[in-house]
Amino acid sequence: MYSKIIGTGSYLPEKILTNRDLESMVNTSDEWIRTRTGITQRHIASEDQVASDLALYASQKAMEAAGLSSKDIDLIIVATTTPDMVFPSTACILQNKLGIENCPAFDVQAVCSGFVYALATADMFVSSGKCRNALVVGTEIYSKIIDWNDRSTCVLFGDGAGAVVLTQSDQPGILSTHLHASGSYSDVLSVPGSISGGKVQGNPYINMEGSTVFKFAVKVLEEVVQEAVSKNNLQPSDIDWLIPHQANIRIIQSTAKKLGIPMDKVVIAVDKHGNTSAASIPLALDIAVRDGRIHSGQLVLLEGVGGGFTWGAVLLRW
């Protein structure tokens, strides 16, 4: 038995913050942001929105595309770094908003690799027959953990959510999943603050050594794509669509170049969304499914890297 994605959905908050808007907030320029990152704009959630709100809209669209209703879902996994609260999990809050009475629901915290981790986990539940229809969501409101005075990070991120419904299938589906982590890099990309004694202790904003993250990302993304294709006796050139984590167009281009994959086989959303962390891969996937780029039978590779460091890939037949 395999697991197969049968519906995708996404949601972006209404408010758009352009590079020009950022020019009036910090010492930056549209030209610097575009040439160094490929980003032209990002969406920002309203003050009263939480990650489960974005997740709800994306999930409803994914279930509609799958032709399923809430009662059909028997597993919810939410990947997020910006949960609604310390607990309960955003997955439990989403479950309640969807009107689902009882099914396992939990969050996965693997930062920008979160969706790949969540999908790999759901695949194990579904392909083993433990669950029939899993809802897998990446949802983030990074605008809440950005220091809007720090030009080295505030221009990079955005808010959004993406979701998929994964179901049992006798045809692939997910072919293989590949997860990695190296905690020795935890200081390079972090939000080090925590809540203790009724207060935030330490820095509650994103702290990043950008160039270290950049070099590590290009290295491990190439490795994990090679690992995924060789596990299936394939070559990178067999991939019809590469759906990378959308952090920086230069990371995406460098990885594709090392793999010999032309850019017209790579789905790009970073220009319009910025880096939406765990939401970026399902957002890009939903765009390419809905605009008709991804066809039945095609080979699709999802890959991501993020804080931890964590990194991973999912290879699937659409």
Identify residue 242 by its one-letter amino acid code: L
- Identify which of residues 39 and 63 has a Cβ nearer to ligand UT7 in the complex: 39
The torsion region of residue 287 among left (phi > 0), alpha (psi -120 to 50) and beta comes to: alpha
Q: Alpha-carbon distance 311 to 309, whole Å?
A: 7
Nearer Cβ to ligand UT7 (64/187): 187
Measuring CA to CA, which residue among 149, 46, 52 is closest to residue 94?
Answer: 52
By beta-carbon proximity to ligand UT7, the closer residue of 42 and 245 is 245
**Nearest-approach distance from CB 260 to ligand UT7, in angstroms:** 22
**Min dist. Cβ of residue 56 to ligand UT7 (A):** 24
Q: Which residues bind ligand UT7 (CB under 6 A)?
A: 28, 32, 36-37, 112, 151-152, 155, 189, 210-211, 213-214, 217, 245, 247-248, 251, 275, 306
Q: Please say if 245 is a catalytic residue.
A: yes
The secondary element (H helix, E strand) that includes residue 129 is none
Query: C-beta of 65: minimal distance to ligand UT7 in Å?
Result: 27
Angle at CA 305, nearest 5°, toward 304 and 311?
A: 90
Minimum CB–partner distance for residue 138 and ligand UT7 (Å): 12
In eight-state DSSP terms, residue 275 is B
Set 112, 178, 207, 248: catalytic member: 112
From 91, 81, 13, select the one nearest 59 (Cα to Cα): 91
Q: Which is nearer to ligand UT7, 152 or 253 (CB)?
A: 152
Q: CA–CA separation, 302 vs 128, rounded Å?
A: 21
Q: Is 112 part of the annotated catalytic residue set?
A: yes
Minimum gap (Å) between residue 243 Cβ and ligand UT7? 15
Give, for 5, the enclosing helix (H) or strand (E): strand 2-11
157: burial class by Cβ within 10 Å (0-12, 13-18, 19+)? buried
User: By C-beta, is 102 or 211 nearer to ligand UT7?
Assistant: 211
User: Among residues 43, 178, 245, 273, which one is catalytic?
Assistant: 245
**Amino acid at position 176, single letter:** S
Indicate the residue whose CB is closest to ligand UT7. 210
Q: Nearer to ligand UT7 by C-beta: 112 or 137?
A: 112
Tokens of 113: 């690799």
Name the minimum Å distance from CB 270 to ligand UT7: 10
Q: List helix spans (H) across the chain.
A: 19-23, 30-37, 51-66, 90-97, 114-127, 151-154, 210-231, 249-259, 270-273, 280-290
**Which residues are designated catalytic?**
112, 245, 275
